Amino acid sequence: MRRYRYRALTGLGDVVDGEVDAENRTDAVRQLRERALDPLRLDTGRHSPLMDLLGREVVVSRGKQLALRRDFARDLAVLRKAGAPLDQALDMIGNGTDAAARLARRVAQRSAAGEPLSRALRAEPRIFDAPSIALLEAGEASGDLAGALSTLARLTDDMIATRSETIRALLYPAALLLAALLAIGLMIFHVLPSFERIFAGSGADIPAGARAIFAIGDAVRVGALPAAGALLAAIAAGMAMRSTEAGRRTLSHWFLRLPVAGRLSAGLDLGRALLIAGRLLESGSPADRAVELAGRTCASATFRDALTHAAERIREGAGVAAALAEVPLMPPRSARMIAIGEASGTLPRMLSDVADMLKREASATLDALLRMLPPALTVAIGVLVAGLVYAILNALLSINELALG
């Protein structure tokens, strides 16, 4: 018998630590399953202090979390549309051993205690973020939970596709940038100081280009630690700001003002909100309620506030198109299309069309940026390295000329 230390997840979503005596790892897992525990970490009891310090709950990658959210929402939507009650649908999904089944069993226990689905999923923040919960709350409020689940599955699937394409496109630029940083760092911290000593001993006049390169190298070596400290301080300040509501609003406002990234994020966020508003209108929700609930699904605090204000304007008697036209960064063409849809009585359909248009435009912009990045980075790194090499070789030639003269 061997003793294993474990960290496991209870049926209610709590993390517990403990020990279990078993013949092997398989037997240990079986015993934990019999106790209704899902193991997160399982290893022998021998630990160094460093391992105890570094021991943390094993969390699945972001990609797996998104895939789990998509699969759970899609399967539950199919069962709900087929007429299965929520508890029965959760039991059917939970009849398995995969991650979705374990998630369904945890959610079923909370749902059996009387919690609505959106509240039961709040205990799974790594899988269902605030916009996802807001979308499900909107579906519950409108009586169309199955539609909200389908929308969530679709949006999550789009996120997975965009994330995969972005990661694939950035692999080569990231490797290129890393290699360039290593090469430039080697030149600045090792090669340039060696050449400076050679030139100092030769007594030759150093060309202006080499002097500039040496000065830049000295500045980088002197300022490397302060710059690293400033970067860490900036990261800490950003994390501190994100921990408060006012700080998150400030960061959101700053980010949306960025030339390219801000508009790209705005298009994706607005597109998601307009799609949800259109779905809610189709299910019979009042316009002000649909806009307000859609606003809660926005990742940006700026858009959440703007859509809440738009809902208030609609309650005061303003038209939906007029209220949405006041939302920051709303494209004029989108506002005109929404106005046409409102005038023609096809507002829900038009909101969905505008959402698809914003998504396509954002995807096209992102694709163009990702295609431009590798060649632009290659040219920039090539010019930088060539400049360094040219300045050093020019200085070496001046020493040779002095020696020959």
Rounded to whole angstroms, the maximal C-alpha distance in the chain is 95
Amino acid 316: pLDDT? 94
Of 1.20.81.30, 3.30.1360.80, 3.40.50.1260, 2.40.50.140, which CATH number belongs to 62-157?
1.20.81.30
Kindly state the helix (H) or strand (E) to which residue 43 belongs, with its residue range. Answer: strand 38-44
Under DSSP, the state recorded for 331 is: -
Please give the share of the chain, as a percent, with pLDDT higher than 90.
23
Least confident stretch, 21-35, 199-213, 245-259, 365-379: 199-213
Encoded tokens for 263: 């508009």
User: In this predicted model, what pLDDT tens digit does every residue of 227-239 receive, in sequence order?
Assistant: 889 989 988 888 8
* Topology match between the domains 2-54 and 62-157: no
Under DSSP, the state recorded for 40 is: E
Amino acid 63: pLDDT? 82
Encoded tokens for 218: 């000295």
Do 199 and 206 contact (CB within 8 A), yes or no? yes
CATH architecture of 256-363: Up-down Bundle (1.20)
User: In this predicted model, what pLDDT tens digit does every residue of 94-110 receive, in sequence order?
Assistant: 887 788 889 999 999 98
Do 358 and 331 contact (CB within 8 A), yes or no? yes
82 three-state secondary structure: coil
Q: What is the DSSP string of 186-241?
A: HIIIIIHHHHHHHHHHHTPPPPHHHHHHHHHHHHHHHHHHHHHHHHHHHHHHHHHH
Of 2.40.360, 1.20.81, 2.40.160, 3.10.20, which CATH number belongs to 2-54?
3.10.20
State the pTM of this model: 0.64
User: In this predicted model, what pLDDT tens digit does every residue of 150-159 receive, in sequence order?
Assistant: 989 988 898 8
Encoded tokens for 223: 């300022």
3-state secondary structure 110-156: HHHCCCCHHHHHCCCCCCCCHHHHHHHHHHHHHCCHHHHHHHHHHHH
The DSSP bridge partners found for residue 7 are 17, 41
Domain ranges of the chain: 2-54, 62-157, 256-363
The backbone region for 203, taken as left when phi is positive above 0, alpha when psi lies in -120 to 50, beta otherwise, is left
